[in-house]
């Protein structure tokens, strides 16, 4: 089975499995977060986001850094038919990763209250406590995800991701609804809940509901970890006794640990730097917003007064409200980068094996495939956000507790659409650098870039007229710097050259047409389709938004095909790619 998987491996084949899983996860996540935000409101979303901001740096080490190290080592050994080493890697990583999970959970428990207090969001510590145990379960999952990814078997990762998301959906929404009702009833009866008095705005209700929702994440990770463990115990890894007998002797535990540390430390450092940067960023955004609101409340009210009044938040909660609106945009901003990150994950074993075999042609074709596919998806998505930011948000949030935040969030989402290509390319490029054995390069790029980002955000968010929009500019410069730094070293190390026509320019032209189509169809539709309640979600504006998205997709697909943007070597890697390629070649639609 391992040899069969090795023969069949390709970057898009593995990526397609993960893309389908990630798309399902994102759909489930939308089903989770959209009604959740409607339940707990923009204020509750602020508490929810604060917990995620401190959780993600530790989560990133366990679910990005560690699996990459295991995948890289396993794929290299499979390529060289060193199957005893493959098994040894699994035996060594188990106790190591579990110990890291315990430490990570303890760190979150210890940092919960200090972090929440320092971020001027004291009630957020409930949510941090609720999510802390999930770090341990994530580390257990990362053992098996990295192991099977290294053997080019993406199914365990894909299935565990979907199981994790379903657990979060079912338990998160159920817990949030129960807590909201329970806390409201307790405050109406006694004026307090769990011994905590209710304030004027009832913020404790939303803080506890957010914590209950986020505990669903913990339950989801526990179920996902249980699946990966049982899957390995029942189905094994496909390495036969004959393969083991014919394999060279395994290296010592110490050698494998050193190998893992050599790859994992810079890889984990890259993830840690990125996510600590985001944590500092989130802390800074909230602090700077707090300062700006306190010093320039009249100007902030002039910009967002209608939304603030509609949300009925007090002046000392305005910064949290604005941050909750900003965090709402991150669901959409992160959608495409998260899906396309699967390209980088699936490329790791292919490029790592090609590096071990000194196959420069394979590295070149894989890198171009990753870059081209990333741009083909990211650029039109960004154009769609530029054209339809507010209609999309109103389609999802009109008539909910989060409706007042839509007018605040829409300009931010449109700005993120402008830089969608840059943000999306960064993660796959980081994975490519890790696969060629230069995990230190992304770490250096991220470390230097974070200084730039933090400095720009401090400066720009402090300008009252920009406020949360300032964070978009800092983020854009950060990702642009990281791509420049990584690509410069990639080209030097591998000699890779990028076909800029098919990778960037043709997708950009098609995406511009896509955006113009979306804007035009929506403007025309909203003018003539005037049925329904304008404050609801089932009206002419909503239908116009859906029609605009559909028309934009059709126009984009037509232009991509007739401009010969698609390349045969990429299409062949898709499921039934040979058949698709023959059809496209027949009509001369391949570049």
pLDDT band at 591 (very low <50, low <70, confident <90, very high): low
The pLDDT of residue 1 is: 42
The total number of residues shown for the chain amounts to 591
Nearby residues of 189 by Cβ (< 8 Å), 6 or more positions away: none
Tell the residue number behind the tokens 């998987």, with chain if given.
5
DSSP run (H or E) holding 192: strand 192-193
Nearby residues of 96 by Cβ (< 8 Å), 6 or more positions away: 257, 260
> pLDDT (tens digit, 9 = 90+) per residue, 111-165?
888 877 776 667 778 888 898 898 899 889 988 888 888 887 888 888 998 999 9
pLDDT band at 482 (very low <50, low <70, confident <90, very high): very high
In this structure, the number of other CB atoms found within 10 A of the CB of residue 131 comes to 26
Nearby residues of 583 by Cβ (< 8 Å), 6 or more positions away: none
Q: d(Cα 265, Cα 59) in Å, to the nearest integer?
A: 15
pLDDT at 39 over 80: no
pLDDT band at 2 (very low <50, low <70, confident <90, very high): very low
Angle at 465 between CA 48 and CA 34, to 5 degrees: 25
Average pLDDT rounded to a whole number, residues 388-408: 87
Q: d(Cα 162, Cα 339) in Å, to the nearest integer?
A: 13
Task: Give the range among 132-146, 179-193, 221-235, 265-279 with minimum mean pLDDT.
Answer: 265-279
- Give 201: exposed, middle or buried? Use CB within 10 Å, 0-12, 13-18, 19+: middle
pLDDT at 101 over 80: yes
Q: d(Cα 385, Cα 333) in Å, to the nearest integer?
A: 9
Query: What's the mean per-residue pLDDT of the chain?
Result: 84
pLDDT at 484 over 90: yes
pLDDT at 501 over 80: yes
The pLDDT of residue 10 is: 56
Q: d(Cα 466, Cα 289) in Å, to the nearest integer?
A: 10
* Partners of 38 in the β-ladder: none
pLDDT band at 35 (very low <50, low <70, confident <90, very high): confident
Q: d(Cα 420, Cα 432) in Å, to the nearest integer?
A: 19
Helix axes 83-118, 134-150, angle to 10 degrees: 150
pLDDT at 61 over 70: no
Q: d(Cα 437, Cα 264) in Å, to the nearest integer?
A: 11
Nearby residues of 485 by Cβ (< 8 Å), 6 or more positions away: 441, 444, 445, 448, 449
pLDDT at 518 over 90: yes
The pLDDT of residue 58 is: 67
The pLDDT of residue 9 is: 44
In terms of average pLDDT, the best of 112-116, 276-280, 510-514, 568-572 is 510-514
Q: d(Cα 385, Cα 334) in Å, to the nearest integer?
A: 12
* Partners of 192 in the β-ladder: 197
> CB–CB of 315/293 below 8 Å?
yes
Average pLDDT rounded to a whole number, residues 293-298: 90
pLDDT band at 15 (very low <50, low <70, confident <90, very high): low
The pLDDT of residue 8 is: 43
Q: Write down the H helix ranges in 9-133.
A: 11-60, 66-79, 83-118, 125-131
pLDDT at 94 over 60: yes
Q: d(Cα 482, Cα 455) in Å, to the nearest integer?
A: 16
Q: d(Cα 152, Cα 158) in Å, to the nearest integer?
A: 12
pLDDT at 373 over 80: yes
How are beta strands 196-197 and 192-193 bridged, if at all? antiparallel
pLDDT: which is higher, 90 or 264: 90
> CB–CB of 132/217 below 8 Å?
no
Which pTM value belongs to this model? 0.70
| Among 90, 352, 88, CA closest to 244 | 88
> CB–CB of 590/566 below 8 Å?
yes
pLDDT at 384 over 50: yes
Domains of the chain, residue spans: 2-498
């Amino acid at each position: 089975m391992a040899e069969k998987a090795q023969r069949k491996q390709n970057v898009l084949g593995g990526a397609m499995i993960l893309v389908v899983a990630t798309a399902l996860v994102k759909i489930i996540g939308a089903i989770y977060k959209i009604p959740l935000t409607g339940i707990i409101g923009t204020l509750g979303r602020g508490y929810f986001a604060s917990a995620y901001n401190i959780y993600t740096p530790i989560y990133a080490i366990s679910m990005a850094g560690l699996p990459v190290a295991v995948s890289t080592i396993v794929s290299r050994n499979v390529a060289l038919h060193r199957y005893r080493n493959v098994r040894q890697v699994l035996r060594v990583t188990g106790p190591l990763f579990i110990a890291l999970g315990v430490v990570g959970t303890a760190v979150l428990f210890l940092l919960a209250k200090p972090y929440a207090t320092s971020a001027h969001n004291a009630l957020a510590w409930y949510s941090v406590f609720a999510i802390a145990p999930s770090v341990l379960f994530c580390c257990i999952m990362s053992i098996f995800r990295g192991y099977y990814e290294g053997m080019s078997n993406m199914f365990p990762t894909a299935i565990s991701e979907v199981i994790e998301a379903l657990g979060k959906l079912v338990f998160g929404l159920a817990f949030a609804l129960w807590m909201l009702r329970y806390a409201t009833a307790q405050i109406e009866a006694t004026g307090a809940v769990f011994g905590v008095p209710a304030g004027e705005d009832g913020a404790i209700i939303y803080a506890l509901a957010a914590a209950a929702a986020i505990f669903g994440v913990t339950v989801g990770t526990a179920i996902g970890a249980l699946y990966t463990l049982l899957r390995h115990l029942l189905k094994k890894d496909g390495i036969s006794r004959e393969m083991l007998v014919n394999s060279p002797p395994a290296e010592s535990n110490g050698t494998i640990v050193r190998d893992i540390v050599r790859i994992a430390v810079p890889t984990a450092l890259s993830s840690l730097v990125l996510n600590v940067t985001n944590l500092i960023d989130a802390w800074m955004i909230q602090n700077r917003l707090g300062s700006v609101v306190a010093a320039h409340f009249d100007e902030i009210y002039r910009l967002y007064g209608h939304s603030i009044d509609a949300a009925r938040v007090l002046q000392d909660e305005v910064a949290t409200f604005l941050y909750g609106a900003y965090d709402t945009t991150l669901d959409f901003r992160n959608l495409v980068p998260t899906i396309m990150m699967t390209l980088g994950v699936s490329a790791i074993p292919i490029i790592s094996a090609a590096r071990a075999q000194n196959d420069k042609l394979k590295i070149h074709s894989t890198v171009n495939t990753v870059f081209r596919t990333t741009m083909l998806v990211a650029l039109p998505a960004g154009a769609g956000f530029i054209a339809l930011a507010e209609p999309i948000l109103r389609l999802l949030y009109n008539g909910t507790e989060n409706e007042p935040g839509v007018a605040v969030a829409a300009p931010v989402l449109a700005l993120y659409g402008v830089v969608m290509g840059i943000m999306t390319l960064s993660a796959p490029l980081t994975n490519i650098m890790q696969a060629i054995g230069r995990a230190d390069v992304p770490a250096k790029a991220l470390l230097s870039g974070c200084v730039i980002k933090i400095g720009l955000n401090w400066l720009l968010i402090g300008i009252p007229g920009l406020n949360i929009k300032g964070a978009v500019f800092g983020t854009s410069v950060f990702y642009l710097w990281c791509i420049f730094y990584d690509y410069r070293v990639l080209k030097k190390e591998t000699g890779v050259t990028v076909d800029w026509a098919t990778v960037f320019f043709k997708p950009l032209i098609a995406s511009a047409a896509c955006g113009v189509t979306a804007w035009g169809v929506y403007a025309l539709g909203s003018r003539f389709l005037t049925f329904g309640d304008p404050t609801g979600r089932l009206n002419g504006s909503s239908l116009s938004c859906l029609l605009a998205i559909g028309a934009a997709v059709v126009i984009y697909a037509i232009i991509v095909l007739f401009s010969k943007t698609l390349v045969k070597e990429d299409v062949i890697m898709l499921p039934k790619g040979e058949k698709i390629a023959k059809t496209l070649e027949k009509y001369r639609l391949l570049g």
